[in-house]
Each structure stands twice: as C-alpha cells, then as structure tokens.
C-alpha cells in the first residue's frame, strides 16, 4: 500500500502521519541554534503553500547551504513546537527576545512563516549530502543525495530514521578509525 493510501486510511480513522522536513540554513544559523541562543527558524520569503503539512512534533533536519569548496551537509535537527504565520509586531517581539538569528526587517503588515522549537540537536558527525545515496522516502525513486534541496523539502519517517542512522554510522566509523590509529601508534 502506497504512502498516500496509508495517509487517507489514517485520516478516515481520525489520525495522521507526521511529516518531517529538510530545511536549508547557513552554517552561522546552525551554530547559533546549536548553542541554544535561538528558538526560531524563519522563512526568508512569504510562503503561500507547502508549510501546512508540518505540525507540532514534526522533526526538521537542517542542512547547511553549499558554498564554493564546501558542500551541503546535514548539521542537526529540531522538533517543531509551533508552526505559524506571524505579523511584523509578533516577529519583532521574537527578535527582541533574541530568538531569531540575523532577523529580517519586516514592514508593517508584512508576515512571515516561522517554526518555533525548544532544542536544536547538533549531530556529532555532519553528513555530506552526497553520502545520503542510500536514503529514500517510502515513495521516492531517487535517493536524497540526488534531490535538489531549495528550502523546505518534506521527508517521511523512513528517511528521517535513515538520516539519523547514516550520521550515527559516520560517527562510529570515525571513532573506530581513531581507535585503530591509537593501537597502531602504541605498537610503533
């Protein structure tokens, strides 16, 4: 049974499948979120679509934007507490509390969608996007490594679990290599 059929079946029963997302951010935003200083992911442009599938409890995996000689990598994740559109007054209140990194200047009447979160979890080993060649959603034909990530991209639980597993495996591989080096060094 395909994902859409499962979602329709769950809706009939009054339940839903939580959607998760891949989000792009610059490395400075990731560092600020990891330090605990900020609590808001704000979208640069007004959004008219594609945000409504996220809900409280959705996990947002954050990928750094690629730069010359610095490819995109998975930096960490947060769990959404609230997703909402805010006006310039509410946005500025969040700015005054220090919850937004490099805030935008909104004109009176302008609105922006934001995702509020409590804790950002930095992955111990940052995974390059190209290393996600075995990660797929339950309905995708191509791996995440081949997807163009332009801002907000939905993923399902299968892809989220796979991203976490790749990060843990990369961390374990790094640790094993360090142990191997120490053993070789001690016998030299």
pLDDT in tens, the chain (188 residues): 444 554 555 445 544 567 899 999 999 999 999 999 999 999 887 766 667 789 999 999 999 998 888 899 999 999 999 999 999 999 999 999 999 999 999 999 899 999 999 999 999 889 899 988 988 888 989 998 999 888 889 999 999 999 998 887 656 666 666 666 667 777 77
The reported pLDDT for the residue numbered 44 is 80
Nearest CA-CA partner of 163 in 36, 72, 27, 91: 72
DSSP lists the bridge partners of residue 40 as 116
The reported pLDDT for the residue numbered 186 is 73
The reported pLDDT for the residue numbered 6 is 45
The reported pLDDT for the residue numbered 18 is 79
Domain map of the chain by residue range? 3-187
Residue 157 near residue 18 (C-beta atoms within 8 A): yes
Residue 129 near residue 63 (C-beta atoms within 8 A): yes
**Tokens 């509390």 identify what position?**
97
The reported pLDDT for the residue numbered 172 is 60
User: What distances in angstroms separate CA 48 from CA 113, 162, 184, one per listed residue?
Assistant: 9, 30, 58
Strand order in the sheet with 59-64: 40-42, 111-128, 73-87, 59-64, 20-25, 152-155
Give the class (CATH, top level) of 3-187. mainly beta
d(CA 181, CA 188): 11
């Amino acid at each position: 049974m395909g994902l859409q059929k499962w979602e329709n079946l769950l809706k009939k029963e009054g339940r839903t499948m939580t959607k998760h997302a891949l989000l792009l951010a610059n490395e400075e935003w990731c560092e600020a979120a990891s330090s605990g200083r900020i609590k808001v992911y704000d979208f640069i442009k007004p959004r008219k679509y594609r945000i409504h599938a996220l809900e409280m409890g959705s996990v947002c995996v954050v990928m750094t934007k690629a730069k010359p000689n610095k490819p995109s990598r998975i930096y960490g994740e947060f769990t959404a507490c609230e997703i909402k559109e805010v006006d310039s007054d509410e946005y500025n209140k969040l700015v005054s509390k220090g919850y937004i990194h490099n805030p935008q200047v909104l004109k009176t009447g302008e609105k922006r969608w934001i995702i509020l979160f409590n804790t950002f979890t930095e992955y111990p080993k940052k995974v390059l996007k190209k290393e996600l060649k075995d990660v797929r959603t339950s309905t995708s034909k191509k791996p995440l490594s081949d997807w163009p990530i332009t801002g907000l991209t939905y993923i399902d639980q299968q892809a989220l679990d796979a991203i976490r597993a790749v990060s843990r495996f990369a961390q374990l591989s790094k640790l094993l290599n360090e142990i191997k080096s120490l053993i070789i060094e001690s016998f030299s």
